[in-house]
Amino acid sequence: MHSRHAHPIRPARIANRSAVVTASVLLLAAPMLAASPATEGVAHAATTLDAREGAARSDANSLSRAFRSAARTLAPSVVTINTKSNPRAAKALGVDPRMLPPGMQLPPGMLAPQGEAPSARGTGTGAVISAHGFIVTANHVVADADEIEIVFQDGRTAHARVVGLDPGTDIAVLKTDATGLVPARFGDSAVLDIGDWVVAIGAPFGLEQTVTAGIVSAKSRSDVGLATSENYIQTDAAINPGNSGGPLANLDGEIVGINSSISSKSGGNDGIGFAVPASVARRVVDSIIATGRVARGFLGVGVQSADDELLASLGATDTAGVVVNAVTNGSPAAEAGLAPGDVITAVDGQRIRTPGELIATVGERAPGSAVEITALRRGDERRLHATLAERTDDGRASAAKKQAPAAKPSALARLGLALTELSASDAAAIGLAIEGSVVVVESADDGGRAARAGIAAGDVIRRIASRDVRTLDEASRALDGLGEETSIPMLVERDGRARFVLMRGGTNPSDTRRQ
């Protein structure tokens, strides 16, 4: 007996007859099907799905319209900046080397290498922020430029000059005499939150008026190593070479950041870009336009980051902050009572977790501002008040390398450390300006606790645990009662810069003996 599934397909007329019978059965059953709860559920589900898909399309279209509106609002204010830098000789002498009299030669090293182009060119982005011709961009876009050309959205070009530069935040202000400008508006970067949509407009790789979109990936990024005062917005909106100086905008078309740099292994966008917040950029811009310079707050402390073990050794358990390792004499910090070993946890209630956050927080305040500093000293919280001075130099002076003269080592074998005491005159001979005396590392045994902590010959020991030291006796007393298992924080100065190091407790590998 053959299975019915094995038969070939019937002729069309038979198939049509079956279709008629099936249709008749369905028509007779229609009233029952219409009344079936199962069919009602299917119909409802289909309707719900259609509604959800429609809502999703509506949301997507609304987002598209928001991007479109932001781009259209901001585009007339975004400009491409083309720069040209003359050869090194021209910059040094203030003349074009091609115009030198016949036979005149420049000093060795002043001429551009053979084959070098007569000028270096660059491209960046900026935003018009005033109908009077002021433009904001990134400092590094125009810092070395001898000629600056502005290209507007409508194709017009104009020359611009630098009004002021601020390497500390990587912000610059230009001025052009062009008319009919459409200024952009600054938005409130403080209300931005992680996950908010943002758009970037610029000239990546010279492609003018390129719009990209992304989200705010992080806020208050510091210690990135790009500028002195860092408080970046991090975004995954595509930012590439040429976007620098251009706006990062919210969906209202307001500037919430000035694009500064990217983190990239390939040279292109890797999804990590950094922008100076509008709150910072606007203060810098206003200051440059008003005075031609930027005045920054100055506290007068040296600080370092710390792990949990160092914080615990300073009595600051279960907290986060930065450790003070130096206080400038006569500075606002000194007058407020800050001291090495203090752990700064907040400024005006704003949490401080890294040195970069402290620098940015203080630097964003004007000189003369009163600030409240929350600090821990040996576990006790203190609220100190300081009136900020003005930072005069973003750089750090470096002292000559110190080498301690030969002397009889101190008996600190368990630390693998030999110290010597120098008088003021001896210290002056190696470049140390002190009053009284100072304790200097003469040697640190390889593999010893001191060497493992990073201490080396020539380092100056300013503090051991919670005690300041100036003499060998003070150093010995500071170490009394501290066992081999105790982790000891030490304030060490090297090349004019102080830093806490932690000599961790435990037996030295070099001290182990066979049993």
pLDDT digits (tens, 9 = 90+) for 38-85: 556 656 666 776 777 777 777 788 888 999 999 999 999 999 999 998
Active site (annotated) includes residue 170: yes
Query: How many residues can be counted in the chain?
Result: 515
Instruction: Examine the pLDDT at 221 and tell me if it is beyond 90.
Output: no
pLDDT score at 179: 93
Q: What is the pTM of this model?
A: 0.59
Residues 77, 222, 244, 443: which is the catalytic one? 244
Q: Report the distance separating Cα 221 and Cα 275, nearest Å.
A: 10
pLDDT score at 210: 93
Q: Report the distance separating Cα 341 and Cα 123, nearest Å.
A: 47
Range 491-500 average pLDDT: 84
Residues 140, 189, 236, 342: which is the catalytic one? 140
Q: What is the DSSP string of 400-429?
A: PPP-PPP-PPPSBGGGTEEEEEEEHHHHHH
Phi and psi, residue 482, nearest 5°: -95, 110
Active site (annotated) includes residue 380: no
Range 14-37 average pLDDT: 44
Q: Who contacts 143 (Cβ-Cβ below 8 Å, separation ≥6)?
A: 165, 167, 172
Active site (annotated) includes residue 476: no
Return the exposure string of 368-397: e unless at least 16 CB atoms fall within 10 Å of the residue's CB, then b.
eeebebbbbbeeeeeebebebbebeeeeee
Of the given ranges (101-115, 233-247, 272-286, 413-427), which has the lowest mean pLDDT? 101-115
Range 18-47 average pLDDT: 50
pLDDT (tens digit per residue) in 379-433: 889 999 999 998 775 433 222 223 333 333 343 667 777 787 776 655 555 556 6
The tokens describing 509, both together, are 């590998």
pLDDT score at 42: 59
Share above pLDDT 70 across residues of the chain, in percent, rounded to a whole number: 71
Q: What is the DSSP string of 428-475?
A: HHTT---SSEEEEEEEE-TTSHHHHTT--TT-EEEEETTEE-SSHHHH
Q: Is 90 left (phi over 0), alpha (psi -120 to 50) or beta?
A: alpha
pLDDT score at 101: 37
Domains and CATH numbers, the chain: 70-88+119-294 (2.40.10.120), 297-390 (2.30.42.10), 413-511 (2.30.42.10)
Residues 170, 342, 445, 459: which is the catalytic one? 170
Q: Who contacts 260 (Cβ-Cβ below 8 Å, separation ≥6)?
A: 138, 170, 226, 227, 232, 244, 274, 275, 276
Q: Report the distance separating Cα 281 and Cα 297, nearest Å.
A: 16
Please answer whether residues 56 and 184 qualify as being in contact, where contact means their C-beta atoms are separated by less than 8 angstroms. Answer: no
